[in-house]
Amino acid sequence: MARKKIALIGGGQIGGILALLVAQKELGDVVMVDIPEKEGVAKGKTLDITEGTPLMGVDCNLSGTSNYADIAGADVAIITAGVPRKPGMSREDLLDVNLKIMTNVAENIKKYAPNAFCIITTNPLDAMVYSFKKITGFPKNQVVGMAGVLDTGRFKSFVAMELGVSAEDITATVLGGHGPTMVPLPRLATVGGVPLMELMPQEKIDAIVDRTRKAGTEIVGLLGNGSAFFSPAISSVEMAESYIKDKKRVLPCAAYLEGEYGINGYYIGVPAVIGSGGVEKVLEIELTDEEKDMLNNSLEAVKKAVADTKL
Ligand code: A3D
């Protein structure tokens, strides 16, 4: 079986970690694309990792480029091209600048890799995935946004820290847009099969939900320059792996809804099955009235950002 070709669009903080993880997991060969001014960085990072492949005992060809033609025939594209937040900025503050970048990226992927499964990471996430789908005209199963895997990773980590148990045994899901209006669902979270609600008082759970909503901003504040990049890369690779290996994992991600949850024509976070067919299915959850209100509130924030794209 020929190796998969994985296009990493953006060779910045997340892009570099993505390349390392793809190589370590031997998911396929890597082509990292950045703008001409950063071509050296893309070449340098991929060469650096290449020189580590014999030490890791993995086979992976990695290259860096600023020529989009080099992604021709890619099976997967993970898009991180765009500007990250600085302290004091909201994700929506990035919309104008990242929309221009996303337009360029979408046109090039449409031209050179029209069959790639596309995982978008650029913020503001839900509006950027929407724009990418609109510009490429790709079917909804082929375009997905990474956010929920990371948001639940954060939630699970905080629960594990609080209970002193392995984060691996915690299951959780999150709905809604990627931002302060996201809707973590502690009602459905479990710790080794035991409902979280039975293990923790409500005020502790509320504090964890609040920290999860603000977790990206917490990291932006600590780093001082740029946003989280290790865990976003890990999250995107989890999604890519499920597609490449047809694992059919159930992962919370920004999927295009056509009636599910009563939402039509928007990308928003929901649990979805990712397999060789891309986003194969959206799972619907019976929500309480309070959860429905929170999801609708989150949808309003997504709608506003989408309206600002004027697409
Ligand atoms: P950064 O380190 O700045 O890397 C972005 C890279 O994109 C830079 O090297 C740019 O030169 C490059 N780039 C710009 N335009 C193009 C183009 N047209 N084609 C190819 N490459 C281009 O940022 P980062 O890696 O830290 O973050 C990337 C994006 O991910 C930002 O928009 C962040 O806000 C976003 N992000 C999202 C999450 C989510 O959970 C959704 C988490 C963390 C970061």
DSSP-assigned states of every residue in 23-34:
HHTT--EEEEE-
Residue 265's Cβ-count burial label (10 Å; 0-12, 13-18, 19+) is: exposed
Do residues 97 and 177 both lie within one domain?
A: no
pLDDT for residue 302: 97
Mean pLDDT, rounded, for 183-211: 97
From residue 247, alpha-carbon distances to 16, 221, 259 in Å are 25, 36, 26
Q: Tell me the pLDDT band of 1, cut-offs 50, 70 and 90.
A: confident
In this prediction, what percent of the chain has a pLDDT beyond 70?
Answer: 100
Sign of CA dihedral 174, 178, 180, 181: negative
Mean pLDDT, rounded, for 111-133: 98
Q: Tell me the pLDDT band of 133, cut-offs 50, 70 and 90.
A: very high
Going by alpha carbons, the residue nearest to atom 1 of ligand 1 is: 12
pLDDT for residue 121: 98
pLDDT for residue 167: 97
Instruction: Calculate how far, in angstroms, residue 263's C-alpha sits from the geometric centre of ligand 1.
Output: 28
Do residues 139 and 160 both lie within one domain?
A: no
For tokens 């639940």, name the residue. 152
Do residues 296 and 227 both lie within one domain?
A: yes
Question: Between β-strands 264-275 and 249-258, what pairing exists: parallel, antiparallel or unpaired?
Answer: antiparallel
Above 90 in pLDDT, residue 194? yes
Instruction: Calculate how far, in angstroms, residue 166's C-alpha sits from the geometric centre of ligand 1.
Output: 31
Ligand 1 surroundings by CB, under 6 angstroms: 9-15, 33-35, 38, 80-85, 94, 98, 101, 104-105, 121-123, 125, 146-147, 150, 178, 226-229, 232
Domain that holds residue 107: 5-145
Do residues 98 and 202 both lie within one domain?
A: no
Phi, psi angles (nearest 5°) of residue 147: -160, -50
Going by alpha carbons, the residue nearest to atom 20 of ligand 1 is: 34
Do residues 166 and 120 both lie within one domain?
A: no
Above 80 in pLDDT, residue 294? yes
Q: Which of 43, 91, 178, 213 is catalytic?
A: 178
Q: What is the mean pLDDT of the chain?
A: 97
Distance CA 20, CA 32 (A): 11
Residue 178 bears catalytic tag: yes
Do residues 55 and 179 both lie within one domain?
A: no
pLDDT for residue 62: 98
Instruction: Calculate how far, in angstroms, residue 14's C-alpha sits from the geometric centre of ligand 1.
Output: 7
Do residues 184 and 131 both lie within one domain?
A: no
From residue 307, alpha-carbon distances to 101, 128, 300 in Å are 18, 12, 10
Helices (H), 246-310: 289-309
Do residues 70 and 135 both lie within one domain?
A: yes
Task: Kindly list the strands in the beta sheet with 278-282, ordered across the sheet, starting from the edge strand earlier in the chain.
Answer: 62-65, 29-33, 5-9, 76-79, 117-120, 143-145, 249-258, 264-275, 278-282
Instruction: Calculate how far, in angstroms, residue 164's C-alpha sits from the geometric centre of ligand 1.
Output: 34
Phi, psi angles (nearest 5°) of residue 144: -140, 155
Q: How many domains does the chain have?
A: 2
DSSP state of 95: H
Residue ending a domain, choose from 129, 145, 161:
145
Contacts of 298 (CB under 8 A, 6+ apart): 175, 176, 177, 179, 181, 182, 183, 268
Mean pLDDT, rounded, for 88-112: 96
Do residues 197 and 292 both lie within one domain?
A: yes
| Closest alpha carbon to 209 in 301, 87, 294 | 294
Mean pLDDT, rounded, for 93-110: 97
Mean pLDDT, rounded, for 227-244: 98
For tokens 């709608």, name the residue. 303
pLDDT, tens only, 237-283 = 999 999 999 999 999 999 999 999 999 999 999 999 999 999 999 99
Going by alpha carbons, the residue nearest to atom 22 of ligand 1 is: 81
Going by alpha carbons, the residue nearest to atom 34 of ligand 1 is: 84
